Chains A and B, each alone.
Chain A
């Protein structure tokens, strides 16, 4: 039973570019959440998707957008990249209202 998977594992972009990160949830899970983790900090909640709709959103600008597909996989898009967007981006999945989220290994984004 595959856990949460994310792609790519690493990514290097330059300021102003756009990036798309992908996440496949754990089998049987229908809810996907995205987090940004800066170096030495705890994860910060970006947003959560359920039934292909954004259900909750953290304190992130509109440059951060997402999508959930009918198979429950999800994408995180970041436009007009800034140096400060360099971080580990974590995807977590859960089933409906389950309390525990299962995290993927993350995508490390470096913006130069």
Chain B
């Protein structure tokens, strides 16, 4: 079963608006990462947040992590048509010695309309 669950499954907004996606997970983690995927191609790494961090920024991206609620959110500000893609959260299970067995959620499909 998948660890992460993104919400909503699909999101449609106008260019310039902000987009917020949420991710919930079930077990303790070392870190949580967000990836973007365009049109069923390879995944592009966006940002990593560690379990001892609460918020992280990268350009127009803002990620928060609440380990007590086992949830994370990804905020994309001032969205552009080029942000149209599927967004996935991936968790790295705590206690995993190699820390590389990512568990992905089903993703949020974001459509940014011009």
Interaction A to B? yes
Partner of A44, one of B4, B31, B104: B104
A43-B43, A102-B45 as given contacts; A97 in contact with B105, CB under 8 Å: no
A94 and B100 contact, CB distance less than 8 A: yes
B98 and A90 contact, CB distance less than 8 A: no
B positions within 8 Å CB-CB of A: 2, 4, 30-31, 33, 35, 40-45, 48, 88, 92, 98-107
* Chain A contact patch, size range: 20 to 34
Q: A35 CB to closest chain B CB, in angstroms?
A: 8
A7 at the interface (CB under 8 A from B): no
A97 and B99 contact, CB distance less than 8 A: yes
Interface of A is mostly: strand
| B3 to A, closest residue via Cβ | A42
B42 and A56 contact, CB distance less than 8 A: no
What residues of A have a CB within 8 angstroms of the CB of B102 in the complex?
33, 43, 45, 101
A48 and B101 contact, CB distance less than 8 A: yes
A40 at the interface (CB under 8 A from B): yes
What residues of B have a CB within 8 angstroms of the CB of A33 in the complex?
100-102
